[in-house]
Amino acid sequence: MGTDPKHLEITLETQVDSVNVAEEMCLRVAEAAGFGEDDCYKIGMSVREGVINAFHYGNKERPDKKIHLAVDLTNDKMIIHVLDEGTGFTLASVPDPLAEENLLSTSGRGIFLMRAFMDEFDVVSGRTGGAEIVMAKKLPLQENPGTNGQGSQGASPHQGA
């Protein structure tokens, strides 16, 4: 992979198939960036969960709303933004799925999985007024001799058009 930052973005319909489209797109980027099989699985799953979150909780499955996905490849990490057109939420309001009283819940594990699988994770207020999930995975070290991941400054909100 080169050192020039790369940026991709796509606007997705609020429908189930968008989850697969987003996962496949990000998997191709991750593979091209040199991530191994295990990291690709974690990135793919996280994108999937981010888009499911936007589809179900953010856009309430309303087909008139869109899901905005953006991927940035920098020198040291892959950053993924998933923006919905809902009303937003705060991480503090998300129940802990590992709490005894939530273990038998049939939902509410997506945020937990994204946090577990990615190196950086945050939810901010997006330009649409909805929630913007921003998550990042450090590139494999062999691709970045000399950085050792220390150039990471945390995932930041997407500023693109």
**Least Cβ distance, residue 25 to another protein (angstroms):** 16
x/- track of binding to another protein for residues 74-103 (CB under 8 A): -----------------------xx----x
Give CA separation, 70 vs 99, 143, 160, in Å: 32, 22, 9
Using the rule CB under 8 A, is 49 a contact of another protein? yes
Closest by CA position to 140, among listed 24, 1, 45, 44: 1
d(CA 133, CA 156): 10
89/112 with CB nearer another protein: 112
Lateral strand order in the sheet of 66-73: 6-13, 66-73, 77-83, 131-138, 120-125
**Least Cβ distance, residue 24 to another protein (angstroms):** 13
Using the rule CB under 8 A, is 27 a contact of another protein? no
d(CA 161, CA 157): 12
| Binding footprint of another protein, residue count (CB under 8 A) | 21
Q: Interhelix angle for 16-32 vs 37-53, to 10°?
A: 150
**Cβ-contact 134, 81 below 8 angstroms:** yes
**Least Cβ distance, residue 145 to another protein (angstroms):** 30
x/- track of binding to another protein for residues 101-140 (CB under 8 A): --xxxxx-xx-xx--x------------------------
Using the rule CB under 8 A, is 161 a contact of another protein? no
d(CA 134, CA 83): 9
110/126 with CB nearer another protein: 110
Task: Report the interface residues with another protein, using CB under 8 A.
Answer: 16-17, 19, 41, 45, 48-49, 52, 55, 97-98, 103-107, 109-110, 112-113, 116
